[in-house]
Structure 1
Amino acid sequence: MKYRFSILLVAATLLRFVAPAQTIHSPSRKLALTFQLSPAGEPTYELKYGARTVVRPSRLAVLLQDQPGFDKGFTIANVDSSRHDDTWAPVWGEVKQIRNHYQELAVTVQQAAAQNRQLVLRFRLFDDGVGFRYEFPEQANLKYFTVSDEKTEFNLPADHRAFWMRGDYDTNEYLYSTTKLSEVSAAAAKPTPEIATQTPIGPNAVQTPLMLKSADGLYVNIHEAALVNYPAMALLVNGATHGLTSQLCPDATGAKAYLQAPAHTPWRTIVVADNAPAILASKLILNLNEPSKLTDTGWIKPQKYVGVWWEMQINKGTWSYSDANNIKLADTDFSKLKPHGRHAANTANVKRYIDFAGKNGLQGVLVEGWNVGWEDWFGNWKEEVFDFVTPYPDFDVTELQRYAASKNVKLIMHHENSGSVTNYERRMEPAYRFMREHGYDAVKTGYVGRIIPRGEHHDGQWMVNHYVRVAQKTAENHLMVDMHEPVRPTGLHRTYPNWLANEAARGNEFNAWSAGNSPEHETILPFTRLMGGPMDYTPGIFQIKLDQYAPQNKGKQVHTTLAKQLALYVTMYSPLQMAADLPENYAKFDDAFQFIRDVAVDWDDTRILAAEPGDYLTTVRQAKGKDEWYLGSITDENARQQPVKLDFLTPGRRYTATIYADGKDADWAKNPMAYRITRQVVTNRSALTLRLAPGGGAAVSFKPLP
């Protein structure tokens, strides 16, 4: 009897110190989030979708250097709950308006053993998921502090199917693997020796966004939103428990982040739905970002462009002007270098692209390799690589400015910095001034190679802050920016709408010179990389087989059909879309090129008609300010019949549907360039059945009849 009394006494004592759970529901009560402190005073959360568990009780913790961490010993000091509901219009995007509707829970916790230091844990629960973050209020006992680690947990209820990429601090260009979560390992990841700069985190690390599917059909996507002044988050997988733990990118000293109160982390995001299209339709990540900081946005123009780019990828031309090596930027007289004759960014060749863009109504021409320094730009970890203002002798900046203007075309600047970011930081202002003086209003930046400052990584706090500085500085100069090899995006294009696109994934170029991208690749990317923002994937390759250009291209090809390349303009969202192939190849397939001429890059409405990660995707979008719709449908290596109801069309109107489809015998490997174009009159009561070849796709334009 005494023994039983002791147990009851201990239990009663514990109950006195365990705060009651705090539960909130999403606006339509689809989701329930519960916050509670453990008996040790550890913050925990749990997420449910109806009766189904999305995340089991999981701990929240941020550890600090040289002082107690924000991990345990907490009591609840304050609880605040509120509801928010408004609608906002993006400067550009997939839809005309976005509803921002959530229930918020803000819990202030306090550590008595750490001089009553406080932390705010803020949750925003939407009908399609949750975002939460750590907030560090300004207080007497917390001013400057260094984050040594973050231990945010996502404990899953089962061994879900995962669509994942190997965790790495310097690249997002791995191929995706599809396995059970318990099977995640570096050994299971597809080998990618063609990626020059890799810093793998460990055999159990994966990048975000991470796409998951449960055995009972629940879809879960884990990522982050509003990544500012903090390193990117990867995830460590515990296969035995189906648990995930945040892993932050360190700096050269091993520290993760240097903060000054008041401060906060990015939002950790969990998007959840019982169907795959709802995941792609989610605007949760955008809603968690701050509104636009730009008051004047009229100069920001979504656009299509061509470029002196693909011919370098396929070994038809080069970025460099000469065969010299050991170049010293400040000391070399580039006018005395002997040209090798393969330099693609020469005045005559660029004019050819300008002519093509002007004739076909494309707004921009990207020119890579125009500036001095490409002779030994990569792999030497050198500081002074490019100055971003000095053209090669065969590139006439003034004449090309005049010529482009005469064709109503804008040149797009290219700033590859070879990872020498300190050099780029010093030279940004004169480089952007040079752009304004010569009529450029958009720039593609590049971060190929190991980062300088040495010891920093592409995904660390220092580089995250650099990308934001570039977005800010370009905005100040009324310049649009497209970043390649950056950290994966987290919705910051809402805050900086001049930040049109990023690469930050394995793009179409890998098909030119590597093992390429598997046919399922483009069916996974919308569920992973594109959850955080638009991708400059560079679609539109029509000459699928690449052997004809150079001996080293033997056996190389794009791993899609031609029709699928058209469909990507709809399924791979970006306000900046490249017609990536050579002008002469488009001339050979001019009837197919008509879809690229027509397709929009800014939209009033988007609907995901059918989707399954790794298998297929069908998306239809309404062009901005028009009653025109464009549809893209793609598949993996398997052929499919895709039925499409046209109930999205305006009732009572008739449309011409132009269908760009795989040919009868099309196959991504055996017959990739076979296509056929048909037309028919349709209404919102009509239906289509699209035949998708292995690795293929279909694109459809719907234009109203008078």
Structure 2
Amino acid sequence: MKTFDAQFRLALLLSVLSVSCLSAVETVVSPDGALEARVELRDGQPLLSLARRGAAVLEPAPLGVTLKPPFAGGFDLAGQTRGSVDSAWTPVWGERASIPDRYRSLTLTLKERGPLARPLILELRTYNEGLALRYRPAGADGAAWQLEREDTAFRFPHGSAAFAIAWTEDTFPQDPVPITALAKNAMMPFTVRLPGGAYASVLEAAVVSYPRAMLAKRDADTVGIALQGRAEGAAGAATPWRVVLVGDSEARLIEHAHLVQTLNPPCALADTAWIQPGLTISDHGNCLLQMADLKRVIDVAHTNGFRYLQLDWGWYGTEWTWTDADRKKFLEVNPSWAGDLSWVTNTYADPYTVAKGRVPYRPDWKSHTVVDLDMPELVRYARARGMGLCLYVHGDVLRAHDLDKLFATYAAWGLAGLKPGFVRYGSAEQTDWIRSLVAAAARHKLWLCIHDAHVPDGMARTYPNLMINEGGGGQEGNHPVRQDVLLPFTRCLAGPFDYTPHLYHKGKSHAHGMAFFVVYPGPTAVVRGGVKEFAA
């Protein structure tokens, strides 16, 4: 009888130990106690869930990455550390004099059960504003790692619906789409209305040497990270932060959006006094690139409180260097130009020189501008009125040149900023090039307004000369009015948005146009048109 009792006790103990290995649970709660993140190791698979005041924001869904070669046999919990931070940081510009950096952290070291026994470190932080998580993988014996995919997934409570778009400048749906009905990959920010009326939004922050991500459908209520290219790194290098903002309303998400910048490294610039926010007016919609007209724009803009004048495409010629086939195509579309070929010189896209005369826009279009610029005089004239000059340059043209050499030239010209356009976006190489672009501009005291697909990731905390980005469906997309109402709690959560409104343009009221500068705060928000009306 004693033997049987001993065997029973041993079996019971082994059973308890086995269950504890199969399902280890750790939680971390936000400083205000409202958010609780829970990580469960179930049969070797880490799962994440998130609750707000007891109500589900995220149901349990997989975490992790798939390396090359893949992890084998799942994970065991090898260690954990906890911490907390209660501090703040001071931005160079923006609506807040001080931004809180308050969180509680949980770092889990997971160990592969397979023969390679590789570690995977999972870092979680719960802020009052939301949740942030990232990984620190390692290859075998501490070697560099290469990802086959990132397995992070977000399972929302059944009945959740998202304001989802499939590409950067897409039009948001009038009403959120049930996650069960999503058919395409979706951009981030991915804003979700939860069944109880609260809101959440999935974003990414601090994307360094890593591709940008979209969200792909995993199952009925689940979306997961879908990388836009190959990912690799040195042992211990961190992946980007995956961020879930949470609020009881859309407005609360806007108030919490500073978390994206907070998750980036502190300012890397010793001197930031030269970084001066201010409204920017474009020649586009106001005049051609001719001195008399531009001086008039400067006069009117100065009187109305603008700080910068931006010259859009055409000042250095065509946006990119044309081929002979491009020129032939243009003459087919514009046969009247064959009699005077002086414009051909302007199709070689030299960003070190200023074009002269007629500049065509695209080989297959009839649009063109006429350039008559004295750049030193224009800079002098603007400076005399307390304004700076900003120039547009196509992203591919910038990539073809040494950035430090080119930006030193622009600094010598007396420029204040640049608008890189059609900047390539998505892969790890493109992500790093954008960071090198911003850093090079900072070295030469140039602020940037990056246009087209680039969605900010909070880099402006580290490099505050990155004042504003497009990365969304603004004026050029000719979207319905509802788009303008949805953007503040979707695209704008990622950072300042250069909507580039065309003021006093048909289809929208004057009050609607003026509201852009309150609803879409941006340190160097750009305006098209308006000079005629301002001067009236």
Q: Same fold (TM over 0.5)?
A: yes
Q: Are 1:268 and 2:242 counterparts?
A: yes
CA distance in 2, matches of 1:569, 1:586: 16
C-alpha distance in structure 1 between counterparts of 2:445 and 2:49, whole Å:
44
CA distance in 2, matches of 1:160, 1:493: 32
Match of 2:220 among 241, 253, 257: 241
Aligned-pair distance for 1:19? 5.2
Structure 2 residue 56 is matched with structure 1 residue 53:
yes
Asked if 2 retains the 8 angstrom alpha-carbon contact of 1:19 and 1:76, the reply is no
The answer to whether the aligner puts 1:506 opposite 2:473 as a matched pair is yes
Measured in 1, the distance between the counterparts of 2:326 and 2:93 equals 38
How has the CA–CA distance of structure 1 residues 81 and 520 changed in structure 2, closer, same or farther, with 3 Å as cutoff? same
| 1:358 aligned residue | 302
3-state SS of paired residue (2:281): strand
Question: In 2, distance between residues paired with 1:16 and 1:360?
Answer: 68
- CA displacement, residues 349-406 of structure 1 (integer Å, 9 cap, x when unaligned): 222222222333321111122102348769x999x96331111122222222232233
1:146-161 matches, cutoff 5 A: 146-161=146-161
d(CA) in 1 for partners of 2:404, 2:115: 45
2: CA distance, partners of 1:385 / 1:484: 22
- 1:387 and 1:427 in contact (8 A); partners too: no
How far the C-alpha of 1:497 sits from its partner, in A, is: 0.7
Partners of 1:372 and 1:144 in 2: how far apart? 45
Is 1:567 paired with 2:515? yes
* Equivalent residues of 1:346, 1:370 under 8 A apart: no
Deviation at 1:18, TM superposition (A): 2.4
| Structure 2 partner of 1:409 | 387
- Kindly report which structure 2 residues correspond to 1:547-566, keeping only aligned pairs within 5 A, or say none: 558=507, 560-566=508-514
Distance 1:305 1:208 in 2: 27
The residue aligned with 2:212 is: 232
Alignment of 1:30-179 (within 5 A): 30-39=34-43, 41-65=44-68, 67-69=69-71, 73-136=74-137, 141-166=141-166, 168=167, 172-177=168-173, 178-179=175-176
Change beyond 3 A, Cα 1:49–1:385: farther
- Residue aligned with 1:48, SS: strand
TM-score (norm 2): 0.86
Please give the TM-score of this superposition, normalised by the length of structure 1: 0.66
Give the equivalent residue in structure 1 for 2:203: 223
Q: CA deviation at 1:571?
A: 0.6
Contact 2:73/2:113 (<8 A) preserved: no
CA distance 1:48–1:350, change in 2 (3 Å): same
In structure 1, the residue matched to 2:362 is none
Call closer, same or farther: CA 1:377–1:364 in 2, change over 3 Å.
farther
Equivalent pair of 2:470/2:498 in contact (CA under 8 Å): yes
The verdict on how the C-alpha distance between 1:8 and 1:204 changes in structure 2, with shifts beyond 3 A counting, is farther
Mapped partners of 2:121, 2:322: distance in 1: 46
Q: Show the counterpart of 2:487.
A: 525
Equivalence map 1:597-616=2 (5 Å)? none
Going from structure 1 to structure 2, the CA distance change for 1:159 and 1:113 (only over 3 Å counts) comes to same
Change (3 A) 1:38 1:79: same
Q: Which of 397, 409, 422 is 2:375 aligned to?
A: 397
- 1:339-378 → structure 2 map (5 Å cutoff): 344-368=288-312, 369-374=314-319
CA displacement 1:657-696 (0-9 Å, x = unmatched): xxxxxxxxxxxxxxxxxxxxxxxxxxxxxxxxxxxxxxxx
Task: State whether residues 59 and 151 of structure 1, in contact with CA within 8 Å, keep that contact through their aligned partners in structure 2.
Answer: yes
Identity of aligned residues (%): 27
Pairs within 5 Å for 1:184-583: 184-185=181-182, 203-238=183-218, 241-250=220-229, 256-282=230-256, 283-311=258-286, 344-368=288-312, 369-374=314-319, 386-393=349-356, 394-417=372-395, 419=396, 422-423=399-400, 426-447=401-422, 458-510=425-477, 516-539=478-501, 541-542=503-504, 544-545=505-506, 558=507, 560-583=508-531
Structure 2: how far apart are the matches of 1:91 and 1:85?
Answer: 20
SS at match of 1:206: coil
> Using the alignment, how far apart are the partners of 1:375 and 1:413 within structure 2?
15
Instruction: Check the 8 A contact 2:137/2:145 in 1, yes or no.
Output: no
Compared with structure 1, are the counterparts of its residues 310 and 64 closer, same or farther at alpha carbon in structure 2 (3 Å cutoff)? farther
Measured in 1, the distance between the counterparts of 2:204 and 2:179 equals 23
Equivalent pair of 2:111/2:118 in contact (CA under 8 Å): yes
Contact 1:232 1:487 survives alignment (8 Å)? no
1:445, distance to aligned residue in structure 2 (A):
0.7
Measured in 2, the distance between the counterparts of 1:587 and 1:398 equals 26
Task: Say which SS state the counterpart of residue 403 (structure 1) adopts.
Answer: helix
Alignment check: 8 A CA contact 1:445 1:482 kept: yes
Matching residue's letter, 1:235: L
CA distance change for structure 1 residues 106 and 409 in 2, over 3 Å: closer, same or farther? same
Task: Answer yes or no: is the 8 Å Cα contact 1:136–1:262 preserved in 2.
Answer: yes
Which amino acid in structure 2 is aligned with residue 480 of structure 1?
W
Q: 1:72 to 1:296 in 2, by over 3 A?
A: farther
Unaligned runs of 5+ in 1: 186-202, 251-255, 312-316, 318-343, 452-457, 511-515, 546-557, 589-706
Using the alignment, how far apart are the partners of 2:107 and 2:274 within structure 1? 38
Unaligned runs of 5+ residues in structure 2 are 1-7, 328-346, 357-371
Instruction: Encode CA deviations 1:605-625: one digit per residue, 9 max, x unaligned.
Output: xxxxxxxxxxxxxxxxxxxxx
The 2-side partners of 1:237 and 1:213 are apart by: 17
Distance 1:399 1:29, change over 3 A: same
Quote the RMSD (CA, aligned, Å).
Answer: 2.6
Q: Output one character per residue of 1:178-207: Cα deviation in whole Å (capped at 9) or x when no partner.
A: 33324645xxxxxxxxxxxxxxxxx42111
1:264-315: CA deviation from partner (whole Å, max 9, x where unpaired): 111101111222221110032222111111121111000112121125xxxx
Aligned length: 490
Structure 1 counterpart of 2:178: 181
Distance 1:277 1:182, change over 3 A: closer
Change (3 A) 1:151 1:381: farther
Q: CA 1:573 to 1:246, structure 2 compared with 1: closer, same or farther past 3 Å?
A: same
**Displacement of 1:42 after TM fit?**
1.3
- Indicate if the aligned counterparts of 2:210 and 2:231 stay in contact, CA closer than 8 A: yes
Correspondence 1:23 to 2:27: yes
- Which stretch shows the higher mean deviation, 346-355 or 480-489? 346-355
Distance in 2, matches of 1:534 and 1:390, equals: 31
Larger relative helix fraction:
2
Counterpart of 2:335? none
Could you say which residue in structure 2 is the equivalent of 1:696? none
Where does residue 513 of structure 1 map in the other structure?
none
Structure 1 position 12, deviation (Å): 4.7
d(CA) in 1 for partners of 2:415, 2:456:
24
